[in-house]
Chain A
């Protein structure tokens, strides 16, 4: 049995449809992310699950209970907000105790469970503080403890790490994942950050314009994107315009302009169709000499160093430029601007998409 199920769940405001009928089933203990650009409807789905937004269509089931018509306080969920949403007038202890008190937990049991929840997020010593006396990261951990303390059936996260700085965000990702694993709690996590979604989730739902584009494991999302949108949203894509030059089985050859040809292992469009071509930066191999067969020749136009990786802008022809990555140490880390290189591109990492399917 699924822990959380959407059946043709949809939301419209007047004529504007924010969520097209979305159906999916989340397994017990599973960590699922909804990933997409802002305005794709992911937060609306989360708020519908929490009961803060009323669905226009469809049903939401927690376990086997239909909760579609239940108010938020009857759903038994834990929700962690981007803004933390702690009670500023209550101490950390009282914040965590809030949900327990609503469930008539009292006395020694209350104290035990509050302490337990605070210990889980390593804030055992902070019970007497007020939220304003804590850092952003600590406040978010209090929010997590507050959501966990009443033992919710499903834990919901609404972009919980977006307000934290990069380093803290990485730490929190690992901490959150460990916590979720340890408790085995079913989790729905909404984010616009693909790194977050891919690294933390068992499965990821990629959304665009209210439509669920693909619901699959992070590996499938990355390596086998179901739609052009997913291909162009995940990874660090180069986007070029071109056309389908030749169909050959499932794949074929794409024409990039400037007379350049590029094999791709999967093409949906017919020969001659105008397409947007997506090539992941990290799928491009860069070589010093242009001798390899099937390689594209180009010259380095720009080099930018970003720590572990070096990005090169490679000019292939007039108006055709690609960004390629290389490790920042090794033979290809110090190519000079103007030097000629060969690019080997894995045909499985080249995606053709109809011009209108591009990510906004």
Chain B
């Protein structure tokens, strides 16, 4: 065992870096979020207001962006889970010699630059992109489908980009499910399907939870892909915050939105871990 005093020393370098370059700047943003923005002049001195926060809840446009962001996070997380679980199961339980090649294939997209991957999706999903051209040539559709600058495009792009995170988390979790426990269920009369639903799935819940939280948080805070696949008008929280800061120079509003996004993320994580723990009997 490591004594608490030594433990503190071990995390001290990381804690200092995080405190100096993350926590302090974030806290410095806090007063800004209560400041008043004067167009053309910047922050009004000595005036404090809750307006930046109340606007997030009352303004229809902001509300729409928030719901869109949350919905996107949820959809992408579910899509990654549904597509990732079978693959993770194959990697964890399939033939030994497939494991390394499959994991390399899963990791491979992460070696490509994010911008390049997003451009790839533009080439595929645009009105005159590969997918639409193919479908039109096959005679399946007459006019191109709208696959970009909307929720569909963002979902496809982000699911592709964050799927590896989910798969890697799930592989670790499924490999941790003891085979004996599954065998025990089988000898007690469980069919293969019932073994999966009653043992494997609940016992891999920690991985499902960790992967889902990771993908959800990455999705709702993603900036580059939503900007490229959503264009300048179809905004999510991250692109909205970016524009408030960099285009409109409305720092107070941008700061307030940033805090709102942070608390939404924390709230969703808290809720989902409670639900998962209750479901998997970990609580």
Residue ranges of A at the interface with B (Cβ–Cβ < 8 Å):
50-52, 71-73, 75-79, 81, 83, 85-91, 98-99, 102-103, 130, 143, 146-147, 150, 156
Contact = CB atoms under 8 A, between A and B. Distances in A.
Contacts of A79: 183-184, 187
Nearest to B279: A89
Given A87-B185, A89-B280, 17 more contacts: A71-B186, A72-B186, A73-B190, A77-B187, A79-B187, A85-B184, A86-B181, A87-B184, A87-B199, A89-B205, A89-B282, A90-B281, A98-B185, A99-B188, A102-B188, A102-B190, A146-B184
A75 B186 CA distance: 10
A320 to B, nearest CB: 47
15 contacts: A52-B186, A72-B187, A73-B188, A73-B189, A73-B190, A81-B183, A86-B184, A87-B181, A87-B184, A88-B281, A89-B280, A89-B281, A90-B281, A98-B190, A147-B188
A89 B183 contact: no
Interface of B: 178, 180-181, 183-192, 194, 198-199, 202-203, 205, 280-282
B223 to A, nearest CB: 38
Nearest to B186: A72
Contacts of A102: 188-190, 194
Contacts of B203: 88-89
Given A89-B280, A89-B282, A90-B281, A50 B183 contact: yes
A103 B181 contact: no
B202 A89 contact: yes
Contacts of A86: 181, 184
B187 A75 contact: yes
A203 B183 CA distance: 27
A103 B189 contact: yes
A188 to B, nearest CB: 13
B189 A81 contact: no
Nearest to A83: B180
A72 B191 CA distance: 8
A124 B187 CA distance: 24
B190 A85 contact: no
B174 to A, nearest CB: 15
Nearest to B180: A85
A143 B180 CA distance: 12
B186 A81 contact: no
B202 A81 contact: no
A90 B198 CA distance: 10
Nearest to B282: A89
Nearest to B191: A73
Contacts of B192: 71
A291 to B, nearest CB: 59
Q: Which 8 residue pairs of A and B lie closest in terms of their CB atoms, listed nearest first?
A: A102-B189, A99-B188, A89-B281, A85-B180, A72-B186, A85-B184, A79-B187, A85-B181
A74 to B, nearest CB: 8
A51 B182 CA distance: 13
Nearest to A91: B281
A72 B189 CA distance: 7
Given A52-B183, A87-B181, A88-B203, A146 B281 contact: no
Given A89-B203, A89-B280, A83 B178 contact: yes
A11 B198 CA distance: 30
A81 B191 contact: no
Residue with the greatest number of chain B CB neighbours at <10 A, chosen from A51, A52, A146:
A52
A179 to B, nearest CB: 18
Contacts of B187: 50-52, 72-73, 75, 77-79, 147, 156
Contacts of A98: 185, 188, 190, 198
A55 B198 CA distance: 27
A208 B192 CA distance: 33
B274 to A, nearest CB: 16
